[in-house]
Chains A and B, each alone.
Chain A
């Protein structure tokens, strides 16, 4: 039983990170390989605040989120105007920069040795509530003006701007919100796995978040969540073939992009309206 709870904890925590990536990459089409940077920022900010400065846990988490959002804002300023591929690579650069900074500021961060001895304050209910809340927020955004604007920008930035959408400002909101969610996930992560180091979440892990989003279907939050749950729980159940699951993930993604480019779930959402329609159809 212990084991299953642990699997669920890890899985759901990563799902929070996938949701952050979904907002940015799935919905708005901003390809960022730097999500790992925000995970680390969140993790380290919360840990250092808690351990070194005796900040109470909730405050530490809040500080992590604020820090992540602030950094997101600062990084967003020069990068959000860039062409998509440039954006991808500078966000990669950002991730590497965070890693290098964590190594360098060894006094504060413990350098390559990382920070150990973080108490396990986070448990499954906390994570589940977080996921539900974040999903609630993103779902609401998706089905109203914010989400439509995201998709419009993703499809055709020029036409979007001619619909009155301030593309740059909207992207910034997405970026900050996504950074906040990702930093939050990172902060929880630290208090879940009790040990963090600069290599916590490298560019490959960031890339996986993007890939999982695409397998699920960029127009479907449900898809992102399910794909994430399947992938990360599979990895935990089959820990001994950890690296092979990435090979399988890669093959699955290729299969989806070639044969079902909309993602497995396409645009379908697990929403009351859709469930109702499904039930009516069955009758």
Chain B
């Protein structure tokens, strides 16, 4: 089952080609990596998939549905969530509220019911809170429920962002440099968490990453970008030997 299919997607910024005819296929329940030197356009690919930027060319299909040109909130509603390179937690909402926001699309009460605090609101709020607390417990964040995110240590912020991306039970999870700034123990925990989530929730994951060990260990398939173009795709062991990839990262050895 094809979860995501990107067909020759391109994006220009004022004459500079950020992504050039990139194509990929994401199978269900697999973890795929997108790697490449800095500035290769990896985050831009994520932005294109999630509707942050409009595509200049190409199409994106999600579970057999053409999602090209859809606004971000619709794409999230369909089941794609993400984390960010620079953590983007809501600074004026506490940890629990950050999680609750992510579940907002699943909640069924209406604005009118909210205004008068109709019983259904209280009930569904209770359900939301229960789910949020369960995620906090899973990620070891129970003590921090009422705290504000930017008061947390960096590693915990990262975990919170991941929890938030999982709240709405997505089908496809996009992780943008999830290991950035984490120490080896935290990376190990991250690997465990991702594998467990993947199995429990039949999740598909695409990650942009620089941390080679993480990528080589956990990804079934890799795509390598350089200057916006795909220069290689394949299994990690093949990519490791690939000439073009080595050159892109290390430069011409002459």
Interface residues of A (CB under 8 A from B): 137, 140-141, 144-146, 148-149, 151-152, 154-156, 158-167, 173, 219, 267
- Among B71, B90, B114, the residue within 8 A (CB) of A144 is B114
Contacts of A141 in B (CB 8 A): 111, 114-115
Identify 5 new A-B residue pairs, CB closer than 8 A, beyond the known A146-B111, A154-B92. Answer: A145-B101, A145-B107, A159-B89, A162-B82, A163-B168
- 9 closest residue pairs by CB, A with B: A164-B105, A164-B76, A161-B72, A159-B88, A155-B90, A137-B115, A140-B117, A166-B73, A144-B114
Contact, CB under 8 Å: A148 / B84: no
Question: What are 28 residue pairs bridging A and B, where the CB atoms are less than 8 Å apart in the complex?
Answer: A137-B115, A137-B116, A140-B121, A144-B109, A145-B100, A145-B114, A148-B93, A148-B101, A148-B104, A151-B92, A155-B90, A156-B88, A159-B84, A159-B88, A159-B89, A161-B73, A162-B50, A162-B52, A162-B72, A162-B73, A162-B82, A163-B101, A163-B104, A164-B77, A164-B104, A165-B101, A167-B73, A219-B92
Contacts of A267 in B (CB 8 A): 92
Contacts of B71 in A (CB 8 A): 161, 166
A145 vs B50: C-alpha distance in the bound complex, in angstroms? 22
A266 vs B144: C-alpha distance in the bound complex, in angstroms? 19
- B76 (CB) vs chain A CBs: closest residue: A164
Interface check B209, CB cutoff 8 A: no
Q: Which of B89, B91, B101, B164 has the most CB of A within 10 A?
A: B101
A162 vs B83: C-alpha distance in the bound complex, in angstroms? 9
Query: How many interface residues does chain B have, given as a range?
Result: 20 to 34
- A155 (CB) vs chain B CBs: closest residue: B90
Contacts of B88 in A (CB 8 A): 156, 158-159
Q: Which of A155, A156, A159 has the most CB of B within 10 A?
A: A159
Q: Which of A137, A146, A148 has the most CB of B within 10 A?
A: A148
Contact, CB under 8 Å: A148 / B72: no
- B125 (CB) vs chain A CBs: closest residue: A144
Contacts of A146 in B (CB 8 A): 111, 114
Interface check B97, CB cutoff 8 A: yes
Contacts of B107 in A (CB 8 A): 145
With both chains docked as a complex, state the minimum distance between the C-beta of A4 and any C-beta of chain B, in angstroms.
32
With both chains docked as a complex, state the minimum distance between the C-beta of B105 and any C-beta of chain A, in angstroms.
4
- Among B89, B93, B114, the residue within 8 A (CB) of A140 is B114
Contact, CB under 8 Å: B73 / A144: no
Contact, CB under 8 Å: B115 / A148: no
With both chains docked as a complex, state the minimum distance between the C-beta of A40 and any C-beta of chain B, in angstroms.
26
With both chains docked as a complex, state the minimum distance between the C-beta of B77 and any C-beta of chain A, in angstroms.
5
Contact, CB under 8 Å: A163 / B92: no
Contact, CB under 8 Å: B168 / A152: no
